[in-house]
Amino acid sequence: MSVAIIGGGACGLVVANILQKNGIEYTLFEKGSVGKKILASGNGKANIANIRLTKEDYHGSSLAYRIVCKYRPKLFSFWKSLSLQTKVDEEGRVYPISESSLSVLTCLCREKLNLLEHCGVERIDKNDGKYWINQTYGPFDDVVFSIGSAASFVEEKRKNFYQCLQPFDLAFHEIKPSLVGFRCKGSWKELFGVRCKCSVALFQNNQEIHREYGEVIFKKDGISGICVLNCSSYYAHLNDPSDCSLILDFFPQQELHFTSYEELNGWVHPKLATYLKRYPLEKIPYVLHHFRLEITETYGLEFAQVSCGGVKIDQVDEYLRLKKDPHLYFGGEILDVDGVCGGYNLMFAFCCGMLIGEALCNTK
Ligand SMILES: Cc1cc2nc3c(=O)[nH]c(=O)nc-3n(C[C@H](O)[C@H](O)[C@H](O)COP(=O)(O)OP(=O)(O)OC[C@H]3O[C@@H](n4cnc5c(N)ncnc54)[C@H](O)[C@@H]3O)c2cc1C
Protein backbone atom coordinates (compact mmCIF):
# COMPACT_ATOMS: atom_id res chain seq x y z
CA MET A 1 0.00 0.00 0.00
CA SER A 2 1.29 3.46 -0.89
CA VAL A 3 -0.25 6.80 0.04
CA ALA A 4 0.22 10.30 -1.43
CA ILE A 5 -0.32 13.05 1.13
CA ILE A 6 -0.81 16.44 -0.49
CA GLY A 7 -0.01 19.31 1.86
CA GLY A 8 2.46 19.33 4.75
CA GLY A 9 0.48 21.38 7.24
CA ALA A 10 -1.17 20.38 10.50
CA CYS A 11 -3.31 17.60 9.03
CA GLY A 12 -0.80 16.21 6.52
CA LEU A 13 2.07 16.06 9.02
CA VAL A 14 -0.05 14.07 11.48
CA VAL A 15 -1.05 11.58 8.76
CA ALA A 16 2.61 11.22 7.72
CA ASN A 17 3.69 10.55 11.32
CA ILE A 18 1.04 7.87 11.80
CA LEU A 19 1.84 6.11 8.53
CA GLN A 20 5.55 6.27 9.28
CA LYS A 21 5.02 4.71 12.71
CA ASN A 22 2.94 1.91 11.21
CA GLY A 23 5.36 1.16 8.40
CA ILE A 24 3.03 2.26 5.60
CA GLU A 25 4.69 3.61 2.48
CA TYR A 26 3.82 7.23 1.75
CA THR A 27 5.09 10.42 0.12
CA LEU A 28 4.25 13.82 1.56
CA PHE A 29 4.10 16.52 -1.13
CA GLU A 30 4.47 20.11 0.02
CA LYS A 31 4.47 23.01 -2.42
CA GLY A 32 6.46 25.32 -0.13
CA SER A 33 8.07 24.42 3.16
CA VAL A 34 6.16 22.37 5.73
CA GLY A 35 4.10 23.85 8.55
CA LYS A 36 4.05 27.53 7.55
CA LYS A 37 0.65 28.17 9.12
CA ILE A 38 1.60 26.25 12.24
CA LEU A 39 4.58 28.59 12.61
CA ALA A 40 2.41 31.68 12.09
CA SER A 41 -0.32 30.52 14.45
CA GLY A 42 -1.10 32.15 17.78
CA ASN A 43 1.37 34.98 17.06
CA GLY A 44 4.19 32.45 16.95
CA LYS A 45 3.03 30.67 20.12
CA ALA A 46 0.71 28.17 18.35
CA ASN A 47 -2.61 27.79 20.11
CA ILE A 48 -2.91 24.13 19.09
CA ALA A 49 -6.14 23.04 20.81
CA ASN A 50 -8.72 23.90 23.41
CA ILE A 51 -9.91 21.75 26.28
CA ARG A 52 -13.36 23.41 26.20
CA LEU A 53 -15.60 22.29 23.40
CA THR A 54 -19.18 23.00 22.36
CA LYS A 55 -20.98 22.39 19.06
CA GLU A 56 -21.02 26.17 18.50
CA ASP A 57 -17.22 26.25 18.26
CA TYR A 58 -17.48 24.88 14.71
CA HIS A 59 -19.52 26.20 11.81
CA GLY A 60 -20.35 24.11 8.79
CA SER A 61 -21.14 20.67 10.16
CA SER A 62 -21.70 18.70 13.34
CA LEU A 63 -19.21 16.18 11.92
CA ALA A 64 -16.36 18.49 12.96
CA TYR A 65 -17.59 18.48 16.56
CA ARG A 66 -17.94 14.69 16.56
CA ILE A 67 -14.45 14.18 15.08
CA VAL A 68 -12.86 16.50 17.63
CA CYS A 69 -14.77 14.91 20.55
CA LYS A 70 -13.47 11.50 19.53
CA TYR A 71 -9.91 12.32 18.53
CA ARG A 72 -8.91 15.08 20.96
CA PRO A 73 -7.83 12.62 23.72
CA LYS A 74 -5.83 10.63 21.15
CA LEU A 75 -4.25 13.88 19.98
CA PHE A 76 -2.89 14.60 23.47
CA SER A 77 -1.40 11.07 23.61
CA PHE A 78 0.07 11.63 20.14
CA TRP A 79 1.80 14.83 21.28
CA LYS A 80 3.15 13.00 24.31
CA SER A 81 4.57 10.34 21.99
CA LEU A 82 6.41 13.15 20.16
CA SER A 83 7.60 14.60 23.52
CA LEU A 84 5.62 17.80 22.91
CA GLN A 85 4.81 19.24 26.32
CA THR A 86 1.71 21.42 26.52
CA LYS A 87 0.07 23.84 28.92
CA VAL A 88 -3.47 25.20 29.22
CA ASP A 89 -4.40 28.82 29.93
CA GLU A 90 -7.43 30.09 31.87
CA GLU A 91 -9.55 30.12 28.66
CA GLY A 92 -8.82 26.43 28.01
CA ARG A 93 -6.38 27.24 25.20
CA VAL A 94 -3.60 24.71 24.75
CA TYR A 95 -0.07 25.88 23.86
CA PRO A 96 3.31 24.18 23.69
CA ILE A 97 4.97 24.70 27.07
CA SER A 98 7.84 26.47 25.26
CA GLU A 99 5.31 29.02 23.90
CA SER A 100 6.95 28.54 20.53
CA SER A 101 5.17 27.26 17.42
CA LEU A 102 8.58 26.04 16.23
CA SER A 103 8.48 23.40 19.00
CA VAL A 104 5.26 22.00 17.52
CA LEU A 105 6.70 21.82 14.02
CA THR A 106 10.03 20.42 15.22
CA CYS A 107 8.26 17.65 17.16
CA LEU A 108 6.05 16.83 14.15
CA CYS A 109 9.21 16.54 12.02
CA ARG A 110 11.14 14.58 14.64
CA GLU A 111 11.05 11.44 12.51
CA LYS A 112 12.69 11.66 9.11
CA LEU A 113 9.54 11.92 7.02
CA ASN A 114 9.37 10.89 3.37
CA LEU A 115 8.84 14.45 2.30
CA LEU A 116 9.09 16.26 -1.03
CA GLU A 117 9.23 19.96 -0.23
CA HIS A 118 8.79 22.66 -2.87
CA CYS A 119 6.87 20.14 -4.92
CA GLY A 120 3.39 21.49 -5.61
CA VAL A 121 0.83 19.00 -6.85
CA GLU A 122 -0.81 20.35 -9.98
CA ARG A 123 -2.13 17.24 -11.60
CA ILE A 124 -3.47 13.90 -10.43
CA ASP A 125 -4.30 11.08 -12.84
CA LYS A 126 -5.98 7.79 -12.15
CA ASN A 127 -4.86 4.79 -14.24
CA ASP A 128 -5.99 1.22 -13.54
CA GLY A 129 -7.23 2.21 -10.09
CA LYS A 130 -3.90 3.84 -9.09
CA TYR A 131 -3.08 7.52 -8.74
CA TRP A 132 -0.18 9.40 -10.32
CA ILE A 133 1.02 12.79 -9.17
CA ASN A 134 2.25 15.39 -11.69
CA GLN A 135 2.57 12.52 -14.23
CA THR A 136 5.78 11.53 -12.40
CA TYR A 137 5.20 10.16 -8.92
CA GLY A 138 3.26 6.96 -8.31
CA PRO A 139 1.56 4.61 -8.38
CA PHE A 140 -0.39 5.41 -5.18
CA ASP A 141 -3.34 3.46 -3.80
CA ASP A 142 -4.76 6.35 -1.77
CA VAL A 143 -4.49 10.13 -1.80
CA VAL A 144 -4.94 12.42 1.21
CA PHE A 145 -5.89 16.02 0.43
CA SER A 146 -4.65 18.17 3.28
CA ILE A 147 -3.96 21.33 1.28
CA GLY A 148 -5.57 23.77 3.74
CA SER A 149 -7.18 26.86 2.24
CA ALA A 150 -6.30 30.00 0.31
CA ALA A 151 -6.84 32.13 3.45
CA SER A 152 -3.91 34.39 4.39
CA PHE A 153 -2.35 34.23 0.91
CA VAL A 154 -2.06 37.30 -1.32
CA GLU A 155 -4.17 37.22 -4.48
CA GLU A 156 -1.28 36.15 -6.70
CA LYS A 157 -0.66 33.06 -4.54
CA ARG A 158 -4.36 32.22 -4.35
CA LYS A 159 -4.55 31.66 -8.12
CA ASN A 160 -5.00 27.96 -8.96
CA PHE A 161 -4.97 27.08 -5.27
CA TYR A 162 -7.65 24.41 -5.72
CA GLN A 163 -6.44 23.26 -9.16
CA CYS A 164 -5.34 19.78 -8.05
CA LEU A 165 -8.96 19.02 -7.04
CA GLN A 166 -10.40 19.79 -10.48
CA PRO A 167 -10.44 16.22 -11.88
CA PHE A 168 -12.71 15.03 -9.06
CA ASP A 169 -15.73 17.20 -9.82
CA LEU A 170 -16.31 18.16 -6.19
CA ALA A 171 -19.07 20.37 -4.84
CA PHE A 172 -17.64 23.42 -3.08
CA HIS A 173 -19.13 25.96 -0.73
CA GLU A 174 -17.95 29.43 -1.74
CA ILE A 175 -14.67 30.40 -0.03
CA LYS A 176 -15.05 33.48 2.18
CA PRO A 177 -12.71 35.08 4.72
CA SER A 178 -13.26 34.15 8.36
CA LEU A 179 -11.44 35.19 11.55
CA VAL A 180 -10.63 38.57 10.04
CA GLY A 181 -11.19 42.22 10.98
CA PHE A 182 -13.89 44.50 9.55
CA ARG A 183 -13.65 47.66 7.47
CA CYS A 184 -16.25 50.09 8.79
CA LYS A 185 -17.98 53.20 7.46
CA GLY A 186 -16.39 56.50 8.43
CA SER A 187 -12.84 57.31 9.36
CA TRP A 188 -11.38 55.83 12.51
CA LYS A 189 -7.96 57.42 12.14
CA GLU A 190 -8.46 59.37 15.37
CA LEU A 191 -8.84 56.11 17.27
CA PHE A 192 -6.09 54.25 15.41
CA GLY A 193 -4.16 52.03 17.80
CA VAL A 194 -6.66 52.22 20.68
CA ARG A 195 -7.00 48.84 22.40
CA CYS A 196 -9.62 48.24 25.01
CA LYS A 197 -11.85 45.55 26.44
CA CYS A 198 -15.56 45.75 25.77
CA SER A 199 -18.60 43.74 24.86
CA VAL A 200 -18.93 43.42 21.07
CA ALA A 201 -22.16 42.44 19.35
CA LEU A 202 -22.69 41.71 15.66
CA PHE A 203 -26.09 42.97 14.53
CA GLN A 204 -27.89 42.61 11.21
CA ASN A 205 -30.55 45.30 11.10
CA ASN A 206 -31.92 45.03 14.64
CA GLN A 207 -31.18 41.36 15.17
CA GLU A 208 -28.27 40.33 17.37
CA ILE A 209 -26.26 37.53 15.73
CA HIS A 210 -23.34 37.11 18.11
CA ARG A 211 -21.96 38.81 21.21
CA GLU A 212 -18.82 38.34 23.24
CA TYR A 213 -16.50 40.20 25.59
CA GLY A 214 -12.86 40.82 24.77
CA GLU A 215 -10.21 43.18 23.48
CA VAL A 216 -10.80 45.28 20.36
CA ILE A 217 -8.15 47.08 18.35
CA PHE A 218 -9.03 50.14 16.27
CA LYS A 219 -7.47 50.31 12.81
CA LYS A 220 -7.39 53.35 10.49
CA ASP A 221 -10.48 52.17 8.63
CA GLY A 222 -11.98 49.50 10.86
CA ILE A 223 -11.59 47.22 13.80
CA SER A 224 -9.97 43.94 14.84
CA GLY A 225 -9.27 41.86 17.97
CA ILE A 226 -10.16 38.28 18.90
CA CYS A 227 -13.84 38.95 19.70
CA VAL A 228 -14.18 40.87 16.42
CA LEU A 229 -12.57 37.96 14.52
CA ASN A 230 -15.13 35.64 16.10
CA CYS A 231 -17.93 37.96 14.95
CA SER A 232 -16.48 37.66 11.43
CA SER A 233 -16.95 33.90 11.51
CA TYR A 234 -20.71 34.42 12.06
CA TYR A 235 -20.75 37.18 9.42
CA ALA A 236 -19.11 34.82 6.90
CA HIS A 237 -21.99 32.38 7.28
CA LEU A 238 -24.72 34.95 6.50
CA ASN A 239 -26.28 34.43 3.07
CA ASP A 240 -26.67 38.18 2.66
CA PRO A 241 -24.26 40.19 4.84
CA SER A 242 -25.88 43.58 4.14
CA ASP A 243 -26.86 46.03 6.92
CA CYS A 244 -24.47 44.59 9.50
CA SER A 245 -22.96 46.60 12.34
CA LEU A 246 -20.89 46.05 15.42
CA ILE A 247 -22.18 47.60 18.62
CA LEU A 248 -19.54 48.06 21.29
CA ASP A 249 -20.43 48.43 24.95
CA PHE A 250 -17.36 49.77 26.73
CA PHE A 251 -18.88 49.39 30.21
CA PRO A 252 -21.41 46.56 30.18
CA GLN A 253 -23.65 46.51 33.24
CA GLN A 254 -22.22 49.75 34.58
CA GLU A 255 -24.22 52.95 34.89
CA LEU A 256 -22.30 55.99 33.68
CA HIS A 257 -22.65 59.66 34.47
CA PHE A 258 -20.20 62.45 33.61
CA THR A 259 -20.13 66.03 34.87
CA SER A 260 -17.36 67.22 32.54
CA TYR A 261 -15.49 66.11 29.39
CA GLU A 262 -12.22 66.06 31.37
CA GLU A 263 -13.58 63.21 33.49
CA LEU A 264 -13.63 60.97 30.41
CA ASN A 265 -9.82 60.74 30.38
CA GLY A 266 -10.02 58.79 33.61
CA TRP A 267 -12.43 56.28 32.11
CA VAL A 268 -11.38 55.65 28.53
CA HIS A 269 -8.28 55.89 26.34
CA PRO A 270 -7.46 59.61 25.85
CA LYS A 271 -7.93 59.24 22.05
CA LEU A 272 -11.45 57.94 22.68
CA ALA A 273 -12.08 60.72 25.21
CA THR A 274 -11.15 63.31 22.55
CA TYR A 275 -13.29 61.55 19.95
CA LEU A 276 -16.31 61.61 22.28
CA LYS A 277 -16.20 65.41 22.55
CA ARG A 278 -18.30 65.58 19.37
CA TYR A 279 -21.31 64.43 21.43
CA PRO A 280 -23.26 66.46 24.02
CA LEU A 281 -22.04 65.45 27.49
CA GLU A 282 -25.39 63.97 28.54
CA LYS A 283 -25.36 61.65 25.47
CA ILE A 284 -21.92 60.17 26.17
CA PRO A 285 -23.06 57.39 28.56
CA TYR A 286 -25.44 56.15 25.84
CA VAL A 287 -22.69 56.33 23.19
CA LEU A 288 -20.28 54.34 25.39
CA HIS A 289 -22.91 51.61 25.77
CA HIS A 290 -23.98 51.65 22.08
CA PHE A 291 -20.86 52.55 20.08
CA ARG A 292 -21.90 51.65 16.55
CA LEU A 293 -19.61 50.77 13.64
CA GLU A 294 -21.33 50.07 10.33
CA ILE A 295 -19.58 47.21 8.55
CA THR A 296 -18.72 47.75 4.90
CA GLU A 297 -16.72 44.53 4.39
CA THR A 298 -14.07 42.32 5.98
CA TYR A 299 -10.38 42.98 5.36
CA GLY A 300 -10.44 40.08 2.86
CA LEU A 301 -9.05 36.58 2.44
CA GLU A 302 -5.46 37.79 2.46
CA PHE A 303 -5.85 38.87 6.10
CA ALA A 304 -8.08 36.00 7.21
CA GLN A 305 -6.80 33.29 9.53
CA VAL A 306 -9.12 30.70 8.02
CA SER A 307 -11.62 30.30 5.22
CA CYS A 308 -15.33 29.69 5.55
CA GLY A 309 -16.37 27.26 2.79
CA GLY A 310 -14.52 24.49 0.98
CA VAL A 311 -15.26 20.91 -0.02
CA LYS A 312 -18.86 20.21 1.00
CA ILE A 313 -18.88 17.83 3.89
CA ASP A 314 -21.79 15.66 2.71
CA GLN A 315 -19.47 14.26 0.03
CA VAL A 316 -17.28 12.46 2.59
CA ASP A 317 -18.04 9.55 4.89
CA GLU A 318 -17.24 9.21 8.61
CA TYR A 319 -13.61 8.33 7.71
CA LEU A 320 -13.36 11.53 5.63
CA ARG A 321 -13.22 9.45 2.43
CA LEU A 322 -14.93 10.73 -0.68
CA LYS A 323 -18.13 8.71 -0.93
CA LYS A 324 -17.82 8.36 -4.71
CA ASP A 325 -14.12 7.35 -4.52
CA PRO A 326 -13.15 6.01 -1.07
CA HIS A 327 -9.42 6.08 -1.89
CA LEU A 328 -9.48 9.87 -1.64
CA TYR A 329 -9.38 11.44 1.84
CA PHE A 330 -10.00 15.07 2.80
CA GLY A 331 -8.88 16.60 6.10
CA GLY A 332 -8.40 19.99 7.74
CA GLU A 333 -9.26 23.38 6.35
CA ILE A 334 -9.93 22.16 2.81
CA LEU A 335 -13.24 20.92 4.20
CA ASP A 336 -16.21 23.23 4.62
CA VAL A 337 -15.61 23.59 8.35
CA ASP A 338 -14.35 26.60 10.25
CA GLY A 339 -13.90 27.11 13.94
CA VAL A 340 -13.77 30.16 16.17
CA CYS A 341 -10.55 31.54 17.68
CA GLY A 342 -8.97 29.60 20.51
CA GLY A 343 -7.14 26.66 18.93
CA TYR A 344 -10.23 25.10 17.33
CA ASN A 345 -8.96 25.22 13.74
CA LEU A 346 -5.60 23.61 14.36
CA MET A 347 -7.29 21.10 16.66
CA PHE A 348 -9.71 20.14 13.88
CA ALA A 349 -6.89 19.78 11.33
CA PHE A 350 -4.81 17.66 13.74
CA CYS A 351 -7.83 15.49 14.64
CA CYS A 352 -8.62 14.94 10.94
CA GLY A 353 -5.01 13.79 10.55
CA MET A 354 -5.46 11.33 13.44
CA LEU A 355 -8.69 9.98 11.94
CA ILE A 356 -7.32 9.62 8.40
CA GLY A 357 -4.06 8.07 9.62
CA GLU A 358 -6.00 5.54 11.69
CA ALA A 359 -8.40 4.78 8.82
CA LEU A 360 -5.51 4.15 6.40
CA CYS A 361 -3.80 1.85 8.92
CA ASN A 362 -7.03 -0.13 9.28
CA THR A 363 -7.34 -0.68 5.54
CA LYS A 364 -3.71 -1.85 5.21
C1 LIG B 1 -1.82 34.03 10.93
C2 LIG B 1 -2.59 32.80 11.33
C3 LIG B 1 -2.70 32.48 12.68
C4 LIG B 1 -3.42 31.34 13.06
N5 LIG B 1 -3.48 31.02 14.38
C6 LIG B 1 -4.15 29.90 14.76
C7 LIG B 1 -4.16 29.49 16.12
O8 LIG B 1 -3.49 30.07 16.98
N9 LIG B 1 -4.92 28.40 16.46
C10 LIG B 1 -5.64 27.70 15.51
O11 LIG B 1 -6.31 26.73 15.87
N12 LIG B 1 -5.60 28.04 14.21
C13 LIG B 1 -4.87 29.11 13.81
N14 LIG B 1 -4.83 29.44 12.48
C15 LIG B 1 -5.52 28.56 11.50
C16 LIG B 1 -4.70 27.27 11.29
O17 LIG B 1 -3.36 27.58 11.08
C18 LIG B 1 -5.25 26.47 10.11
O19 LIG B 1 -6.64 26.28 10.27
C20 LIG B 1 -4.56 25.10 10.02
O21 LIG B 1 -3.19 25.28 9.80
C22 LIG B 1 -5.16 24.27 8.90
O23 LIG B 1 -4.42 23.08 8.81
P24 LIG B 1 -4.39 22.25 7.43
O25 LIG B 1 -3.49 21.11 7.64
O26 LIG B 1 -5.76 22.00 6.98
O27 LIG B 1 -3.77 23.28 6.38
P28 LIG B 1 -2.36 24.03 6.41
O29 LIG B 1 -1.75 24.00 7.76
O30 LIG B 1 -2.59 25.34 5.75
O31 LIG B 1 -1.45 23.12 5.48
C32 LIG B 1 -1.73 22.95 4.11
C33 LIG B 1 -0.40 22.76 3.40
O34 LIG B 1 -0.66 22.31 2.07
C35 LIG B 1 0.25 22.93 1.20
N36 LIG B 1 -0.34 22.87 -0.16
C37 LIG B 1 -1.41 23.55 -0.62
N38 LIG B 1 -1.66 23.21 -1.90
C39 LIG B 1 -0.73 22.30 -2.24
C40 LIG B 1 -0.44 21.58 -3.45
N41 LIG B 1 -1.20 21.73 -4.55
N42 LIG B 1 0.61 20.73 -3.47
C43 LIG B 1 1.39 20.55 -2.36
N44 LIG B 1 1.17 21.22 -1.19
C45 LIG B 1 0.12 22.08 -1.14
C46 LIG B 1 0.38 24.33 1.75
O47 LIG B 1 1.59 24.94 1.31
C48 LIG B 1 0.36 24.07 3.25
O49 LIG B 1 1.67 23.90 3.77
C50 LIG B 1 -4.07 30.54 12.06
C51 LIG B 1 -3.94 30.87 10.72
C52 LIG B 1 -3.20 31.97 10.34
C53 LIG B 1 -3.06 32.28 8.88
Express each pLDDT in 45-70 by its tens digit. Answer: 999 999 999 999 999 789 999 999 99
Residues 116 and 209 in one domain: no
Helix locations, the chain, DSSP H: 10-21, 36-40, 62-81, 101-108, 155-158, 226-236, 270-276, 284-289, 344-362
pLDDT at position 224 is: 97
pLDDT at 342: 97
Q: How far is the CA of 332 from the centre of ligand 1 (A)?
A: 8
Co-location of 232 and 143 in the same domain: no
CA distances for 2 relative to 139, 286, 364, angstroms = 8, 65, 10
pLDDT for position 335 = 97
pLDDT at 292: 97
Are the beta carbons of 285 and 256 closer than 8 angstroms? yes
145 with 196, same domain? Answer: no
**Residues 143, 212: one domain?**
no
Q: Please, are residues 31 and 118 in contact by the beta-carbon 8 Å criterion?
A: yes
Q: How many domains does the chain have?
A: 2
Question: Is 114 in the same domain as 136?
Answer: yes
- Residue numbers of the domain that contains 202: 182-299
pLDDT confidence of residue 199: 98
**β partners of residue 291:** 248
353 Cβ closer than 6 Å to some ligand 1 atom: no
336 and 238 both lie in a single domain: no
**Among 305, 341, 344, 347, residue to substitute to test ligand 1 (most atoms within 8 Å of Cβ):** 305
- From the CB of residue 296, how many other CB atoms can be counted at a distance below 10 Å? 13
Q: Which of 270, 299, 328 is the last residue of a domain?
A: 299
Residue 101 neighbours by CB distance under 10 Å: 24
The one-letter code for the residue type at 299 is Y
| Whether residues 27 and 168 fall in one domain | yes
Distance 10 CA to ligand 1 centre (A): 7
Per-residue pLDDT tens over the stretch 206-239: 999 999 999 999 999 999 999 999 999 999 999 9
pLDDT of residue 61: 81
Ligand 1 and 40: CB distance under 6 A: yes
Confidence at residue 159, expressed as pLDDT on a 0 to 100 scale: 87
Is the minimum distance from the CB of 244 to ligand 1 under 6 angstroms? no
Question: How many A from CA of 7 to the centre of ligand 1?
Answer: 9
Judgement on whether residues 157 and 202 belong to the same structural domain of the protein:
no
| 162 shares a domain with 57 | yes
Same domain for 293 and 317, yes or no, is no
Query: Which residue numbers in the chain have pLDDT < 70?
Result: none
Of 281, 299, 317, the residue at which a domain comes to its end is: 299
Q: Are residues 137 and 187 in the same domain?
A: no
Residues 48 and 95 in one domain: yes
